[in-house]
Structure 1
């Protein structure tokens, strides 16, 4: 950590000094809003020297500007929201006051008015602002959805996290429909999103959690829900200050204190009595194992420190939740499904564990806990009329027990309760902002933040993981028992430190031009230990073999260790992304606004991975990309067609560069031939037999042995490199070309109609290949590219690039490169009613299509290569098919209705999301490596050949009845039936349509004075409450055909 600060602090200090020099020399900010306009006299002539004073009514903060010789004024750094009161005055003219002005986040409020000449002092002329001005602001150009403070308060949210409502953006779809986590836009991986709070990045930059936020693995929240004032989902912002993403930008701002003391408290509670029965429990007698509880509670307090000068706001929120683990347990009803053990088997297993001094396990039901704590404090203070400072500190603490028993039908495994693990997270995020407006019309925004993220994945016990086969329950069902430390939790922790420094300087408007120059810089340090299997992972064919523990009785063994000896060291590296930019917001005419600019992002790595000499020899000294600039030009426009703000045409085109999920980069610092090696041994493993069982997790044997017990291949002995992950010098950070075109029109009764299209083209998307399988050996009779042969047992014998070094048991040499073939688009029709006394409503339909070469769905290089692309062709050919993130159709509706009675008000809010199901592919798989149809060394990732009929010779069957059953199955699915005689195209099948309807009912209760008490009832998946068959997500999830029933998939090589 000290080395990192020594590397980073000089750069931060230099940039800080530059920012201060620029600031003392100065567009709306990314965390604020702005206002500009033209002040004229009664004859329409520009009025120079007029004073324009904005007063934020809740806090009393004032910002003043003076019109220039052209009558133009600009005010930057305004706190979003309001209301604001604006007073415009000039000696000899009657003042004008505009009230109830609301400033939109990231937009510039346009204020044009005239002053009348008067010889005597008269009262101000008072005008009420247009409440929909932000929707037709000249700076509104790209694709944007705003979630207001009222929507955050009113719309139903089950988990009270800001990302819950991001799906209200018509173009956003969840990657996990069951819990709404993981947000994807235009087919982009959810790891390519950036999430900001007050301009400070709160991402899990490493990219492990589905939510995308720090603490996401433990279901943590970056900030309490009631601390958020407003947030935006930006998909194509042409403001070059916005960057570091190729997916979506979620930009949230926090609440501030006011001149009034305002406090709030809340509590939400739900348990199994307020929820529908799980599918497996319907009609089943107790115990069903569905008991759970979720209590969320907290409060906020804000008020003045010095009235009109300084204010504070603080928020504290908690969650205490517990839920039963899924799957069977002793005594569970049969409706739960899965193979249940007998207590006899549990006792027998525990007896053997006792002989090794290992912890006994249990077959009873298990409860997973998920406590969350959030704290935030913010202070705002005003230094005169034109300087405002904001300090915020956020703290997040989260823990999540992870355990389930979803046993399958093939080789079902019953997990002991001690095979669980727990995610824990602690995140600290202080930030500081300084907004300045200068007398000459220039402005400056400075921001400095730090994010300290610590994650651990702790197993419940420190023991080897042991799986024992050969158990049979009273119903005659076979099963296995698994105990000990969960394989991927053995030695697993992550530390991230992020420093951000940003400064944006905007020059005074001249000739309709408003020029901004700035820099945004992110310094990143990662310390990641992923020593999977370091405690040892064993499998045995029966309990007797486990009791023996001899080498010959171990059916399988996996272990990891340092390839250079000693203990496994974490992957540690330091990097930065330097962003420099300049842009011009040009009011070409009163009706046409143009924004154009250039941003350059420069990724820098202060450390390079240390590869083994053999890797450098074979693959040309791979490294990580550093110091290569990525240029991002952008241009956006807004045309006020009638000049009255009733209809507009807007759009733009630009390039966007984002950070990678650093876990993909970290792989190169761990799996490089000198870091960690993972060794597999067993009777059928070419590395040799497993060593004798050892219950000591800290003293595992790091070699395989021969029949006589002599070492064969070992970690650290020079004969084994394990998995190797490389990144080419020419590999670039993710970069896309994105554009949009939209038409907005006001309709009667406050409605706005929008038609919008968006296109996305990958410039530098990621693409991973296995260099250890270098060339194809030919194709089989079905047209599948093959890399080796299938032997008589159905296993593959792949041809490896360098078997003598990397070994035939190697996971591969995975090369992370780029492709420019990914593409996607969407079109949206939307109707909105954003203001009204009783009804606020939005409705939208989106049609989209996303195609990619490979969908990165994992944090591990081997898994991304194996499952990101179920391919039957050449692995090096970057051909596109339908993306795993594709959702062709989406219907989005949100609404809030306030019933007409005044006392004891009642309010109903609704959200509905309907969308196409996820695409999937049927693949071949089986135990002991069977089902590797293209013989590349891995199975369950090869799409199935779709037979013409039951007599098709493309597949040989052990039993003709299986061929007929397969033929009947194909006929039942249109997506397969129309592909007969061919290999199934990736993602050409799709799960059924999905519906999600949530309701929120708020009832005001009698209260004293200014106090307000409300009772709120949320109905989540309301359709399922109406009918148990509605609101059910049905998903094949990607079927895997077990090749146990297939004699062989014909794959005779055709080299012609």
Structure 2
């Protein structure tokens, strides 16, 4: 997906590219004497007070300086000194993620000043000179004070005006700038944390279980960007969500916390779920518990620090059902008789149907090490783990009876590791290197013992039992490697950035719907509409089914379920190159000009020679333009070009009135599930059967093909 922003107007066209986040902040400015003459060689030292980490630079011939790759947040203590002049000290400076804060001043000669000048910073960053696009910054203070019912990312993203949230069984889906959530990018410490395959409604790894991708107590700050004109940020046409985890400091600190939600702490039935003749009532019983702890501190003061966070999430949502509201033909005795028949005839227990409870259990862990090697080199290492186990229980309603062993169970684990190395080489060069690896394992299974899926027409209702049909052979493995490197060159009013972003994804996706077999039994009527035999009677008397469906593997030994052969396996490689010039045009005007190109590469899939030699020729002879496409042939790489330009003008030079804007092209990642279908549906690894009047076969390993 690609977008072009001009002020508040967006134009959208289709494309594909990377995800790439920014993990640091910077400061810069111009140092002069009281007459406005530049002071070359003035020393600028920034100290991150919590850890004592030092960052430094000297001004150039024109009095300009720039310190990049600084940790976001604060507070910082900035000291500017020059021989023969009084020191200038600015306290409580807080840096915004991805932005450059301007700190310029004129120094007074020592003969005319008795003490150092100390300034306490109190600005909010709303008029930051580095802002050109649309963004929302959420600080640690905001995270601690904003109301949060679900303890999820969505609670804080909702303060962004361009965000729209939709709640579903998989949690919140976040739309930014009116785009599909799959066109967003999510980073943690610069590493990709999207569900790159694109199945989760929330757009995050493990999102199909409804689990939050991280504990908000582990987050230092995060940023929501809609149109940043900085070419380092890419991989989205909706918006990016960029989170930075906490770090340890020179003081030990920690917390133990717990949050509880249940039916007594929420309102009555939402108005949009209440009919015209109904009254709002107390919601059904449920429970949601979140508890955890965090601790951080020094290993070696001013040098080496640690941070650890653990969080547990337990949720239960019963789905009570009153059989008297059921509109189907069968009585409660009929349903109990069906359950007994299944157990005595086939040895299958369908479970209960009148209070099927949805559950979610998850564990989250974040561990982080920060090493201040010296003033010029700093390393951060972070590993996070998210594991979740969700039972999406099949429920019963007025028009359906659903037995619980027909539910979906979903287990997911995500391990994410990131290494960041920030360096400075003299006053001219700086480098930021980020290496990331994310491993995701999603396994969706049917609950209960293996048994075919059965749907029985029951007058105005339906009775369902057996395996959840889309969970019978369904798993997804994702391994994503990312490398990002930004090299900065400082040249007076200019800061040149030369960067690259590489992403390699390895995917294995197994999916055969109705892999255990799927049978439908319908009510039977004569020509006059008189009921001859109910669907339930058809099943109990072992009549043929009305409809039969079965998806299966065409390769391997015929094993069913997650051990089936025939999974699609493919690789993608994404290459991004970019260059940018951040220009201090005047003391009141900054401009940014950049250009990037992104190129995706796809591996070849299984070749279907028969289709390619016979069917393709027939299609082309019929006038179909296939543009050279063949089954098994990888997608041709196409370069995505994204020029950007932005500006920021401080109208009166006092930081009270600002005009900013820009123009740019934004290219988003393409969810791999869409082109991934070409690797699944190739005509040689998977088959599907749809038939009428088939006998019922209870053995999932002996279905009709």
Give the TM-score band, short-chain normalised: 0.7 to 0.9
CA distance in 1, matches of 2:154, 2:597: 29
The structure 2 residue matched to 1:181, chosen from 157, 172, 175, is 172
Pairing of 1:966-1005 with structure 2 (within 5 A): none
Q: Does 1:559 align with 2:540?
A: no
Q: Does 1:377 align with 2:367?
A: yes
Q: Deviations over 1:83-127 (max 9, x none)?
A: 111111112211111111111111111011122222599532111
- 1:537 corresponds in structure 2 to 518
- 2:24 corresponds in structure 1 to 32
Q: Report the CA distance shift for 1:91/1:360 in structure 2 as closer, same or farther (over 3 A).
A: closer
CA distance in 1, matches of 2:76, 2:329: 65
- 2:423 corresponds in structure 1 to 436
**More contact order relative to length (CA 8 Å, sep ≥ 6):** 2
**Greater shift in the superposed pair: 219-228 or 116-125:** 116-125
Q: Report the CA distance shift for 1:29/1:509 in structure 2 as closer, same or farther (over 3 A).
A: farther
Q: Does 1:257 align with 2:248?
A: yes
Q: Deviations over 1:324-350 (max 9, x none)?
A: 136x3447xx5xx76696331112212
The structure 1 residue matched to 2:503, chosen from 522, 526, 534, is 522
- 1:648 corresponds in structure 2 to 658
Q: Deviations over 1:572-602 (max 9, x none)?
A: 1010111110010111111211111111111
| 1:548 shift after superposition | 4.3
CA distance in 2, matches of 1:361, 1:558: 24
CA distance in 2, matches of 1:29, 1:162: 17
CA distance in 1, matches of 2:283, 2:702: 39
| 1:351 shift after superposition | 3.5
The structure 1 residue matched to 2:381, chosen from 374, 391, 405, is 391
Q: Does 1:625 align with 2:635?
A: yes
Q: Report the CA distance shift for 1:121/1:165 in structure 2 as closer, same or farther (over 3 A).
A: closer
CA distance in 2, matches of 1:178, 1:640: 47
- 1:419 corresponds in structure 2 to 406
CA distance in 1, matches of 2:699, 2:82: 84
The structure 2 residue matched to 1:302, chosen from 271, 286, 296, is 296
CA distance in 1, matches of 2:556, 2:73: 60
CA distance in 2, matches of 1:407, 1:38: 69
CA distance in 1, matches of 2:175, 2:608: 34
- 1:502 corresponds in structure 2 to 484
CA distance in 2, matches of 1:66, 1:509: 12
Q: Is the 8 A contact 2:47 2:77 kept in 1?
A: yes
CA distance in 1, matches of 2:105, 2:278: 71
| 1:460 shift after superposition | 0.6
Q: Is the 8 A contact 1:612 1:672 kept in 2?
A: no
Q: Report the CA distance shift for 1:548/1:345 in structure 2 as closer, same or farther (over 3 A).
A: closer
Q: Does 1:546 align with 2:507?
A: no
SS at match of 1:597: strand
- 1:811 corresponds in structure 2 to none
The structure 1 residue matched to 2:335, chosen from 319, 343, 346, is 346
CA RMSD of aligned residues (A): 2.5
The structure 1 residue matched to 2:601, chosen from 591, 601, 604, is 604
Q: Is the 8 A contact 2:169 2:210 kept in 1?
A: no
Q: Is the 8 A contact 2:599 2:640 kept in 1?
A: yes
SS at match of 2:704: coil
SS at match of 2:491: coil
| 1:406 shift after superposition | 5.8
| 1:611 shift after superposition | 3.9
CA distance in 2, matches of 1:566, 1:576: 32
CA distance in 2, matches of 1:612, 1:549: 43
Pairing of 1:609-1008 with structure 2 (within 5 A): 609-611=606-608, 613-614=610-611, 616-617=616-617, 618=619, 619=626, 620-622=628-630, 623-682=633-692, 689-690=693-694, 692-702=695-705
| 1:422 shift after superposition | 1.1
CA distance in 1, matches of 2:205, 2:505: 14
CA distance in 1, matches of 2:216, 2:55: 29
| 1:148 shift after superposition | 1.6
Q: Does 1:196 align with 2:206?
A: no
The structure 1 residue matched to 2:234, chosen from 243, 252, 270, is 243
SS at match of 1:350: helix
| 1:653 shift after superposition | 1.1
The structure 2 residue matched to 1:484, chosen from 437, 447, 466, is 466
Q: Is the 8 A contact 2:263 2:282 kept in 1?
A: no
- 1:99 corresponds in structure 2 to 91
Aligned residue-pair number: 649
Q: Does 1:45 align with 2:37?
A: yes
CA distance in 2, matches of 1:453, 1:94: 56
CA distance in 2, matches of 1:197, 1:569: 34
Q: Report the CA distance shift for 1:169/1:179 in structure 2 as closer, same or farther (over 3 A).
A: farther
The structure 2 residue matched to 1:227, chosen from 197, 202, 218, is 218
SS at match of 1:394: strand
- 2:528 corresponds in structure 1 to none
Q: Does 1:469 align with 2:457?
A: yes
Q: Deviations over 1:978-1024 (max 9, x none)?
A: xxxxxxxxxxxxxxxxxxxxxxxxxxxxxxxxxxxxxxxxxxxxxxx
Q: Report the CA distance shift for 1:547/1:144 in structure 2 as closer, same or farther (over 3 A).
A: same
CA distance in 2, matches of 1:588, 1:340: 79
Q: Report the CA distance shift for 1:633/1:120 in structure 2 as closer, same or farther (over 3 A).
A: closer
The structure 2 residue matched to 1:587, chosen from 584, 589, 613, is 584
CA distance in 2, matches of 1:396, 1:661: 21
TM-score (norm 2): 0.88
TM-score (norm 1): 0.59
| 1:608 shift after superposition | 3.2
SS at match of 2:702: coil
Q: Does 1:268 align with 2:255?
A: no
Q: Report the CA distance shift for 1:329/1:362 in structure 2 as closer, same or farther (over 3 A).
A: farther
- 2:305 corresponds in structure 1 to 311
Q: Deviations over 1:452-481 (max 9, x none)?
A: 00111111131100112246xxxxxx4321
| 1:188 shift after superposition | 1.2
